[in-house]
Amino acid sequence: MRIDLFLKASGILKSRSMAAGACAAGAVTVNGKTAKSSSGVVPGSIVTVLRPRGGSITFRVDSIPGSGNVPRADRASLFTVLEEDRNAD
């Protein structure tokens, strides 16, 4: 699955365009490499997202959703947070 679709489906970022913008700005890495919005993720991928207002989140992809729409209650099963920094500069 494309990283921009995964970030939107999992609720990490609010929209696909926001996810694509974060990728274009170099704020998303997949397995340590800067990701384009079309970069793929699979279960086991390690993703880091730098948030626009400061802070970051690093998580492991646990599963890929079957469709683009995932109920809010099911989103947490898609990933496991490894590290989160909520501090804004």
Extract the residue ranges of the chain whose pLDDT is less than 70. 68, 88-89
pLDDT of residue 67: 74
N-to-C CA span, the chain: 32
Domain ranges, residue 18:
3-85
Question: In the beta sheet, which residues pair with residue 31?
Answer: none
Provide the whole-model pTM.
Answer: 0.91
pLDDT of residue 86: 83
pLDDT of residue 88: 59
How far is 12 from 7, CA to CA, in rounded Å?
A: 5
pLDDT of residue 87: 75
DSSP class per residue in 43-83: TT-EEEEE-TTS-EEEEEE----SSS---GGGGGGGEEEEE
**CATH number of the domain that residue 65 is part of:** 3.10.290.10
pLDDT of residue 54: 85
Helix (H) or strand (E) holding 7: helix 3-10
